[in-house]
Amino acid sequence: MLIYLRVLKESFFFALNALRTNLLRTFLSLLGVTIGIFAIIGVLAAIDSLENEIKDGLSSLDISTIYVLNRSFGPTELEPYQYQNFPNVSYEEYLMLKRSVPNLDAITYTFFTAPENIKFEDKTVTGVGIQPHTSDFYQLENLKLTDGRFFNDSEDVSGSPVVVLGYEIAQSLFDNTNPIGKRIRLYGNKFTVIGVLEKEGAGAFGPSKDESAFIPVNFVRRIYSDTNKNTTTALIMKPKAGVDLDEFMATVEQRLRNSRGLKGDDLSTFFINPLKGFADFLDQVTGVMTLIGVIISGFSMLVGGFGIANIMFVSVKERTNLIGIQKSLGAKSRFILSQFLFESVILAIFGGLFGLFFVWLATLGANLAVDDFEFILSLKNIILGTSISAIIGLIAGVIPAFVAARLDPVEAIRTGM
C-alpha cells in the first residue's frame, strides 16, 4: 500500500512538473478535457435547474387536476385535420358534468382570452391576463386573498361586473391604498374590485396570478359565445381524494360523449388532459434533452481524451532514459504502468476541475443576469464531472502506460542517451 502512495505522490509531482515545464503543450492538451467537462456538466446543470424550476411549479399544483378542452397538452395519435375542428366545451356541458359526475370535488368553466388593459383614474396597466371563471375556481385552486373576497355563485351566474385582482396589478393601480370597492375600467365597462389575491411569485406555467384579473365567466360569455372560433374554453376539474383517476376520467369521457351524441366508433371530439400526464411528458422531454446534450458534449470529451493520450505518449518518449534506469534498478513493470496511469488521471482531473470552475462561474453570471430562474451546480454534478475526468484520464493513459511498462531497460537507456 505504501509503495502505491509513493507512486501517487511521485506521479502528482510529475504532473505538476509537466504543467510547469510545458505550459503551452499542457494547456492545449487539457483544453479538450476542460471544454468537454464544461459542456457536459453545463448541460446537466442547466437541465437540473430546469427540472428544479418545473418541480417547484408543479408542487403548487394538484396533479389530479384535469383539463377538458378541444386541444391536447401533449402528443396525440390524431392527425391535425381530425381535431382542428373540434368544438369548444360549452357552459351547458359544465352544468351537466357538475350535476352528474360522481366523486367530483370541484369543477370550473373558463375562457382563455387575450390580455387586456385595465384603467383606474389616470393609471393604466397593459397586458393583464384576464381569467374568466365560474365561482368554483376559488375552491379548485385553493386561492388565498389579502383583502376582500372572491365572487360568489350569484355574481357568477348573472355575470356581474366584479373583479378580483392579482397582487401586482393591485399594487400598480392602487399603490398601498385599499382597492376594495374601487371601480376600474375593463372591456369598456366599469368593474368593482371585490378582492385582492396574496402575492404568489413568478408562475412556472402560464402567467402568474399576481399579474392576472379574475372575473365571472358569464360576463365574458356575453362578449364571446361558447362557439367562437377565436377563443378557447375549458373545463378544469379534480376528483375527491382517493378516487381512481383513470376511472374518474373514463366517467367524464362517457358523460361528454353521451351529451354530444357520439356513438361507439365515433372519435371523442374533446381531449381529457390530466396534469399527471403533463408532468410525465415533461420528465420525458427533459430526459431526451439530457441524452442529446450528453451525446453532443461527449465529442468534446473524445477530443480531450486524445489530448491526454498525446501528452502521455510525449511524456513516455521524453522519459525513456529515466524509465530504463528505473527498470535496471529493479522497478517492476506494474510500477511503471501505475506511475503513468496515475499521471494521466491527475492531468485529466486538473482539466476537469478547470471545467467545473468555469461552469460555476457561468452559473454565478447567469443567476445575476436572470432574476426569475435559479441556475444550480449540484454536488452530484461536481462529483460526476470529477469522475468523468478521472475515467477519461485512465482510458487515455492505458496505451502510453503499457508502452512505457514494456520497454526493455537496456534499449530504453540506449535510446534515451
**CA–CA gap between residue 130 and residue 156 (Å, rounded):** 15
22 closest CA partner among 299, 319, 392, 320: 319
Strand 145-148 to strand 189-197: parallel, antiparallel, or no bridges (unpaired)? antiparallel
Asked if residue 321 lies in contact with residue 413, where contact means CB atoms within 8 angstroms, the answer is yes
pLDDT at residue number 202: 61
Compute φ and ψ for 107, nearest 5 degrees.
-150, 140
The length of the chain in residues reads: 417
Q: What share of the chain is helix, strand, coil (3-state, %, to 5)?
A: 55, 15, 25
Cell of 296: 453532443
Please, which residues bridge with residue 164 across strands? 195, 214
Strand 116-120 to strand 162-165: parallel, antiparallel, or no bridges (unpaired)? unpaired
pLDDT at residue number 292: 76
pLDDT at residue number 60: 53
Asked if residue 104 lies in contact with residue 98, where contact means CB atoms within 8 angstroms, the answer is yes
Fill in the amino acid letter for 265.
D
Q: Which residue stretches of the chain have pLDDT < 50?
A: none
**Taking the CB of residue 221, how many other CB atoms lie within 10 A of it?**
19
- pLDDT tens digits, one per residue of 380-412: 888 888 888 888 888 887 888 777 777 766 666
- Three-class SS state of 120: strand
Name 171's Cβ contacts closer than 8 Å, sequence gap at least 6.
none
**CA–CA gap between residue 184 and residue 119 (Å, rounded):** 6
- pLDDT tens digits, one per residue of 173-195: 888 788 899 999 998 899 999 99
CA–centroid distance for 412 within its chain:
56
Q: What is the DSSP secondary-structure string of 212-238?
A: EEEEEHHHHHTTS-TT-TTSEEEEEEE
Give this prediction's pTM: 0.61
pLDDT at residue number 313: 78
pLDDT at residue number 286: 72
- Three-class SS state of 131: strand
pLDDT at residue number 414: 66
Asked if residue 412 lies in contact with residue 318, where contact means CB atoms within 8 angstroms, the answer is no
**CA–CA gap between residue 37 and residue 377 (Å, rounded):** 13
Q: What is the DSSP secondary-structure string of 370-395?
A: -SS------HHHHHHHHHHHHHHHHH
